[in-house]
Amino acid sequence: MGFLASLFGGKKKDAPKPEKAPAAASTAKPTVMGKQVAPAMATAATPVAATGTGVAQVKLRLKLAALLRAGEYTQAYKAARELAEIQVKAGRRIGARIWDEQADRILAQLDAVA
């Protein structure tokens, strides 16, 4: 026996296998305290509608980063303003203020380049 096997008890001995359930019982839907589980699982798997705004934010952030790297400050300014608008609609004042400040910094870079 190796060191780890001696610490954790080594190999397990063969335990008697439980008998299989009848085939007719396996086709029935699972129940929990008399209620069917399948309808509850079906509703839990549906996506939440609010995730669409999260996807839009991620796409805008990636677009903003790419535009800043490319030096297209006018398009980056618009993307930052759109991100601020999303934050306002979501009721996040601090997030909106942060994106507004970022848009102002981009605008300052735009003025410095022009």
| pTM beyond 0.85 | no
Tell me the per-residue pLDDT of 9-44, one tens digit each, with 9 for 90 and over: 666 666 667 677 666 555 555 555 655 555 554 544
Tell me the per-residue pLDDT of 70-79, one tens digit each, with 9 for 90 and over: 999 999 999 9
Give the whole-angstrom CA distance, residue 27 versus residue 48.
31
Of 96, 93, 66, whose CA–CA distance to 81 is shortest?
96
Spans of all domains in the chain: 73-114
9 three-state secondary structure: coil
